[in-house]
Amino acid sequence: MTAAPISADPLDLPTVDDVRAAATRIREAAHRTPVLTSRLVDAEVGAQVFVKAENLQRSGSFKFRGAFNTLSRLSDAHRATGVIAFSSGNHAQAVALAASILHVPATIVMPTDAPASKMAATRGYGAEIVTYDRYTEDREAIATRLSHERGLTLVPPYDHPDVIAGQGTAVLELLEETGPLDALFVCLGGGGLLSGSLLSAQALAPDCAVYGVEPRAGDDGLQSLRAGRIVRIDPPRTLADGAATPYLGTRTFPIIRDRVTDIVTVSDDELVDAMRMFATRMKIITEPTGCLAFAGMRAGVAADPDRFAGARIGVIISGGNVDLDRFAALIG
């Protein structure tokens, strides 16, 4: 592993005011997703659990919040020329949908072997797809080149103030609905959702402990927090493909480092257990990455039951984009 430089200009870090502004901006376009509860879950955990269901968000994940906020802030000239993003997953669909709503042309760089359903969804939102070979080509380089050649604005998946501010609106809504919480669990990949959530939590529930949750196989966030610098790891093998990011962002890391209570990790088996629980108890479909926070909450409570006994705990489900046959195979 090698250290990546931290180069964030402090002035470039978003604040809760940016999150509030994002909430106003996305209000008409995004779903205010429901907060789900289950007596059976509460009984099992020994606490009161509030689940913010971003799998029911438009495009199937919280990523729509950040994408729509970012695209809303583009100048007319940049909107007219269009945007580009690289992603094989939820960010692609989110940018494609946000672009379609705002009448912005979108180009998405996806691997040739991306799931057919995700390609179809992205194309269904009207985006142009440029494919690349993930074994021989570098998607970031392709996107950057196309961005320069065509004058397209690159929409990064997490390391951008407008993206972070947009993602923070999910916890803003959650806390508006529940009031102050004792603890909050949020999944951690590149850190967009977690850093945005930390901004909202600090403003609306300053005493709330906030935990990031990573796949155990890809614990670069935990390593970075312990080392005090961004630690880069090899691309991890985990069911949580949406959190398989090998390093945090230069903007997300300082927010997380300064404000997160701790980072916990969970196994793939724990993610599948959580998927099954959501399907049977709450009747919702989640993707493995989407279950990180719930699985982390369970692990955290199991590790220190006294600390969480009777607590009011928030959990964010990040997304529900999973092929049905894969879903069936995982939970069957």
Q: Say whether residue 116 binds a second copy (CB under 8 A).
A: no
Q: How would you class 71 by CB atoms within 10 Å of its CB: exposed for 0-12, middle for 13-18, buried for 19 or more?
A: buried
Q: How far is CA 303 from the centre of its chain?
A: 25
**Contact range with a second copy by CB under 8 A, out of 32-40, 70-78, 202-210, 236-244:** 32-40
Q: Say whether residue 206 binds a second copy (CB under 8 A).
A: no
Query: Which helix (H) or strand (E) is 137 found in, with range?
Result: none
Q: Say whether residue 328 binds a second copy (CB under 8 A).
A: yes
| CB of 289 vs a second copy, minimal distance in Å | 13
Q: Say whether residue 108 binds a second copy (CB under 8 A).
A: no
Query: Which helix (H) or strand (E) is 217 found in, with range?
Result: none
**Contact range with a second copy by CB under 8 A, out of 79-87, 146-154, 198-206, 321-329:** 321-329
Q: Say whether residue 51 binds a second copy (CB under 8 A).
A: no
Q: Which residues pair with residue 108 across a beta bridge? A: 85, 129
Between 31 and 134, whose beta carbon lies closer to a second copy? 31
Q: CA 52 to CA 173: how far, in whole Å? A: 9
Site string for a second copy, 262-281 (x = CB under 8 A): --------------x--xx-
Between 64 and 247, whose beta carbon lies closer to a second copy? 64
The footprint of a second copy on residues 53-82 (CB under 8 A) is 55-56, 58, 60
| Phi and psi, residue 109, nearest 5° | -95, 115
b/e 165-188 (16+ beta carbons within 10 angstroms → b): bbbbbbbbbbbeebeebbbbbbbb
Contacts of 328 (CB under 8 A, 6+ apart): none
**Contact range with a second copy by CB under 8 A, out of 18-26, 27-35, 80-88, 146-154:** 27-35
Q: Which residues pair with residue 53 across a beta bridge? A: 317
Strand, coil or helix: 46: coil
Q: Could you give the residue numbers annotated as active site? A: 63, 88, 214, 218, 220, 318
Give one word for 82, left, alpha or beta, with left for phi > 0 and alpha for psi -120 to 50. left
Q: Say whether residue 37 binds a second copy (CB under 8 A).
A: yes
| CB of 262 vs a second copy, minimal distance in Å | 29
Task: State the residues that interact with a second copy by CB under 8 A.
Answer: 31, 33-34, 36-37, 39-40, 55-56, 58, 60, 117, 124, 276, 279-280, 282-286, 320, 324-325, 327-329, 331-332
